[in-house]
Amino acid sequence: MTDIETLEQETLQSIAAADSEASLEALRLGVLGRQGTITQRLRGMGALDPDERKSVATALNRAKDAISQALRQRRDELEEAALDRQMQAEWLDITLPARPNRTGSVHPVSQTMDEVAAIFADMGFGVAEGPQIETDWHNFDALNIPPDHPARQEHDTFFIRMESDGGSQPNVLRTHTSPVQVRTMQERGAPLYIVAPGRVYRCDYDQTHTPMFHQTEGLAIDRDITMANLKWVLEEFCRAYFEVDAVELRFRASHFPFTEPSAEVDLRCSWQDGQLKVGEGDDWMEIIGCGMVHPRVLEAGRIDPSVYQGFAFGIGIDRLAMLKYGIPDLRAFYESDVRWLRHYSFEPLDIPTLHGGLSR
């Protein structure tokens, strides 16, 4: 056996015994690197006579090819073994059931918003959304709220300055979702049937008020709409939301700058052992503010009040959730108490539908 064959066999044995990519790379450099044994032998071929050069070159190239192939094969084996070890270390049986304490859930406010949207969608209302940072005009002026109205004072509204306009224009965290109605009127015109759910902000904090809460406001604009249409819509909503066969509503005259006439809506109910029962009893509970859209609001929305008229209403989502699911304190919605969430939350796929039932 020649020295080249001996070198080849010894190198192949060392490659087969290599237990890491680092040791394998060291072997490659020692044999095939710039200063490697075979590389140096190939560089010295010029000193040999032609006949010997031919035979030596053939042997060296054969050894080089065999070693290169062995190196690639061993490297693949080491990489596969490393991957197997990683897979074993990260192994997870996906057939095991999920851990109950790690499953997600739907917050009762989100569930209630979905329930309300499902009810109004069944009556032909679409869902509209808008920015939570509103201009002073969209939040107040377009809704016929005068400059001296208490809602436009800092003790009731969060005012902010926007760097994008140099702080010259007053902006607010919207105090209701009515600005969405104005924007949608301007974009779509009439006829229009929408509800606008979302977060709103006011400077208030106690057992029944928080600085951030949720509303759904509705708007219907068409020819020949009357208060009778409004009454029917609200009755159908209360019947569907509270999942009872009959409800009784009482409309009390009120005042809102953006509606004329305006009304507060009370729902007949009773409280027995701290549990709400809708449609029976001698108690009345205020749940909705509503009215016919003021002509100035229609004009702000670029709709001709001599041709179209409509009604609007506002519903507190957080209050609805408290009433339906027996939640005593509004502040608990935002305290991130895991025990509270586990008690009042909903399954992620418990999507409310009228045909399947709104709530569990």
Q: Which of 105-114, 245-254, 289-298 has the highest mean pLDDT?
A: 289-298
pLDDT band at 104 (very low <50, low <70, confident <90, very high): confident
Q: Give me the percent of the chain exceeding a pLDDT of 70.
A: 90
Closest CA to 325 of 346, 339, 348, 349: 346
pLDDT band at 223 (very low <50, low <70, confident <90, very high): very high
Mean pLDDT lowest among 130-134, 274-278, 352-356: 352-356
pLDDT of residue 147 exceeding 90, the answer is no
- Whether 317 and 216 have beta carbons less than 8 Å apart is answered as yes
Residue 251 is predicted with a pLDDT of 93
Q: Give me the percent of the chain exceeding a pLDDT of 90.
A: 31
C-alpha 67/C-alpha 58 separation (Å) is: 14
C-alpha 167/C-alpha 162 separation (Å) is: 5
Q: What's the average model confidence in pLDDT over 57-86?
A: 86
- Beta strand pairing call for 126-127 and 249-256: unpaired
- Whether 305 and 259 have beta carbons less than 8 Å apart is answered as no
Q: How far is CA 138 from CA 92, 158, 277, 294, 302, in A?
A: 54, 15, 39, 15, 13
Residue 51 is predicted with a pLDDT of 72
Residue corresponding to tokens 């450099």:
29
Q: Which three-class secondary structure string do you get for 2-26?
A: CHHHHHHHHHHHHHHHCCCHHHHHH
Exposure letters 194-222 (e unless 16+ CB within 10 A, then b): bbbbbebbbeeeeeeebeebbbbbbbbbe
- Whether 305 and 190 have beta carbons less than 8 Å apart is answered as no
Mean per-residue pLDDT of the chain: 84
Q: Which of 84-93, 282-291, 304-313 has the highest mean pLDDT?
A: 304-313
Q: What's the average model confidence in pLDDT over 190-195?
A: 94
Q: How far is CA 114 from CA 20, 34, 55, 243, 247, in A?
A: 58, 70, 84, 15, 21
C-alpha 290/C-alpha 44 separation (Å) is: 100
Per DSSP, the three-state class of 300 is helix
321 vs 55: which has the higher pLDDT? 321
pLDDT digits (tens, 9 = 90+) for 314-353: 999 988 888 888 887 777 888 888 888 888 888 777 776 6
pLDDT digits (tens, 9 = 90+) for 28-37: 888 888 888 8
C-alpha 134/C-alpha 139 separation (Å) is: 6
pLDDT digits (tens, 9 = 90+) for 149-184: 777 776 678 888 766 555 566 788 898 999 999 999
Question: 48: phi > 0 → left, psi -120 to 50 → alpha, else beta; which?
Answer: beta
In sequence order, what E strands does the chain have? 126-127, 133-135, 159-161, 170-173, 192-201, 212-222, 249-256, 259-272, 275-278, 283-293, 309-316
Residue 195 is predicted with a pLDDT of 95
Residue 253 is predicted with a pLDDT of 93
